[in-house]
Structure 1
């Protein structure tokens, strides 16, 4: 009887497979803690669509064993995965039973949390769980994509007010009496093409600013969201993505004003968008340019530049959602690249032929139809960045000359014309994406060229390619050997071969001309490459 009992118990439990973090650094960088009193701060983050129990139906998941769909088995398995991952931040989507299960259980494991539930009859929502001994919540805001409906209504009212003002008084009065001024607004009322219906999808997100409990207490903004699912409604998802980035930009500015400091930004979630589609291209605005003019225009106007942490390091996962009918990547971790933050490790994901995913999810190894993704980041203060430069015995002129030139040339100002084209709900209409400039001023003709990606408009320290391990040379334990002598090299002349790993110059006339040098492997003179 005991053996039968054990067998029955085993059939009704889930033993989840918990992934591990792996380093993405090609070689370990020199640690500033060896000489500097302030350590670089690190934190880990996981994003996971845990599959709301409200959506667990046998006809949705006929491939899954019945015991893998029960709330009792799934809830304990999800809790086990979250505890064993042990990330500082857990960004979860499709969270139902928040008050009755997850909040209390996670509190007993050292996590505080914030949560927003979807509107309408939906029972699930998004939550951010954070270790209260590692981070302090200092500010939060909810994101309700139904607010897009109000933007549409305000836009229509303003447009009609402007058109009405231009009409003669007698014409205006006649149209008001006949009701014709309302026909344009109510023509699609109630139908799928009515934007007030189309945009009301009850999708939500949440964003919060945290002060890390480290030596220099850096501030990190963490956001998570769940965009609309239907592939046929791609325009709705793109509108949600634009609204999301706009709100993030406003929130980041608010945090900066209140706390008088810069902040790093991480965006996570289930975006219901595959790599390469319009939503993905808009959100990953730091990635390679798209051939689509529409997408390119949107990316030029994005308020915050973002890149996918997986894409810039080892490539997007082959899939994060796995069922027999659909297997692809829908979940992402984006961050705003800067001098002060970089990813150092990623959460591993299985291959498509791995035993634990064959046949589709959920199963006895994974309690959700999605897989968790994650990353670990390092954050440095400006003082630490300056110290790391000084530790290489870099003398004057200042190593910040490229940044100073960038500001003096105003390369971030975009078009200098005074007029603004109309975008997708322009700021004058209370929305989020500015129109493209249409003035006569044009763009500044003087552009810096990045020494990593060869693209104009930014320098290497702001290029997301700096995270690409393929661009990291072999590490030399002696930092002074990693730089060539600080000598002036006029445009068009050949760099001397000093057997150094990289040539570092402070002279501005060589920066715009794309002059750079890497050891005996690749030498470039002006715009003419030479391979040795």
Structure 2
């Protein structure tokens, strides 16, 4: 783990915790036709599962958020394995549709957290409810929310809700040529979070997962700024999709696209140019090498202390294009991210 330099030690810390996000490449998708450069032996789940076990034991994260977990693997392998390591049995949300076999899952250390609430979000269902005529918005992707209560906090905080954290694990649609679909999903996620948060502003939250979006995309424009900027390259394409859904009313369409979410200007990616200076990527396959997985936190309620170097000792291979995923040492086509976050007392917001 790489230590992050912080200049705000005057803030009151409630407790620290580590959170891992990792797209594990569903076993039904780990086929040679998709990964021709990978040795078929290294695609076999019996081989990959041993590497996953070694990694998960080594990371020893307090909260584990995984994407593309096959339902049978969750029930028969992953949940029993992590239970032995001190985690809960796991909360699983399978993607919808008749063909989907995988989903997202959240585990937490039993001695560190207690589960207060859980909630799933099906983007397909929301698209069908809100915009039934636009089929491109209705894709089988999912988000999972778990409200966790911290145990054994190091600071005496009278408000119990300040010790509670919403953990959101999501897997957004992969097709970057459909920015309207990706925008709809991330907008829906923040609306859902607002509803879960509506009775209190004291609970904090972290959003992690496979966003299938590079840092300069529509998804991260919305997360960081709180709305879409109408000067962005993709804005006109998204506008064209939504305009007929609002009966050609440009005012309503622009409001839908540019109305800010309530957490605007408070979201920060744990891995960014200020905290992680080495060449950074989370997925390497075929001709793609880039960042599409993220850990987002509220910078007014948390600060990163340490970050995992996901490339281990392979930076040189990546730079010289001699590296592909999965491989003998890396069991997925994605790399894991992990951050140690310091949860701050809400009173610390007034110090900024």
- TM range, smaller chain: 0.7 to 0.9
Shift of the alpha carbon at 1:275?
A: 1.2
Q: Go from structure 1 to structure 2 and tell me whether the alpha carbon gap of 1:299 and 1:342 turns closer, same or farther (over 3 Å shift).
A: farther
Q: Determine which of 93, 113, 116 is the counterpart of 1:135.
A: 113
Give me the whole-angstrom Cα distance separating, in 2, the residues matched to 1:223 and 1:212: 16
Post-superposition CA distance 1:218-270 (Å, at most 9, x none):
1111101001111222211111111111111111224x2xxxx6011100010
Q: Go from structure 1 to structure 2 and tell me whether the alpha carbon gap of 1:208 and 1:367 turns closer, same or farther (over 3 Å shift).
A: same
Pairing 1:446-525 to 2, within 5 Å after superposition: 461=352
2:174 equivalent in structure 1: 229
1:146 aligned onto 2:118: no
Query: Structure 1 stretches of 5 or more lacking a match?
Result: 1-20, 33-38, 154-193, 387-399, 401-459, 462-532
CA RMSD of aligned residues (A): 2.8
Give me the whole-angstrom Cα distance separating, in 1, the residues matched to 2:47 and 2:314: 25
More strand by share: 2
Give me the whole-angstrom Cα distance separating, in 1, the residues matched to 2:185 and 2:86: 33
Larger Rg: 1
Give me the whole-angstrom Cα distance separating, in 1, the residues matched to 2:190 and 2:62: 24
2:282 equivalent in structure 1: 320
Shift of the alpha carbon at 1:311?
A: 2.3
Give me the whole-angstrom Cα distance separating, in 2, the residues matched to 1:237 and 1:288: 12
Q: Give the TM-score of the pair, scaled to structure 2.
A: 0.81
Segments of 4+ in structure 1 off by > 4 A? 286-291, 293-300
Q: Is the 8 Å Cα contact of residues 227 and 260 (structure 2) preserved in structure 1?
A: no
Query: Structure 2 stretches of 5 or more lacking a match?
Result: 237-253
1:265 equivalent in structure 2: 205
Q: Determine which of 322, 326, 331 is the counterpart of 1:367.
A: 331
Pairing 1:5-44 to 2, within 5 Å after superposition: 21-26=1-6, 29=9, 40-44=14-18
Give me the whole-angstrom Cα distance separating, in 1, the residues matched to 2:38 and 2:217: 29
Q: Is the 8 Å Cα contact of residues 281 and 290 (structure 1) preserved in structure 2?
A: no
Q: Go from structure 1 to structure 2 and tell me whether the alpha carbon gap of 1:292 and 1:54 turns closer, same or farther (over 3 Å shift).
A: same
Q: Is the 8 Å Cα contact of residues 124 and 140 (structure 2) preserved in structure 1?
A: yes
Q: Secondary structure at the match of 2:225?
A: coil
Q: Determine which of 121, 124, 127 is the counterpart of 2:102.
A: 124
Pairing 1:90-129 to 2, within 5 Å after superposition: 90-96=64-70, 97-112=73-88, 113-120=90-97, 121-129=99-107
Shift of the alpha carbon at 1:299?
A: 5.7
Post-superposition CA distance 1:136-170 (Å, at most 9, x none):
110111010012111124xxxxxxxxxxxxxxxxx
Q: Go from structure 1 to structure 2 and tell me whether the alpha carbon gap of 1:312 and 1:327 turns closer, same or farther (over 3 Å shift).
A: closer
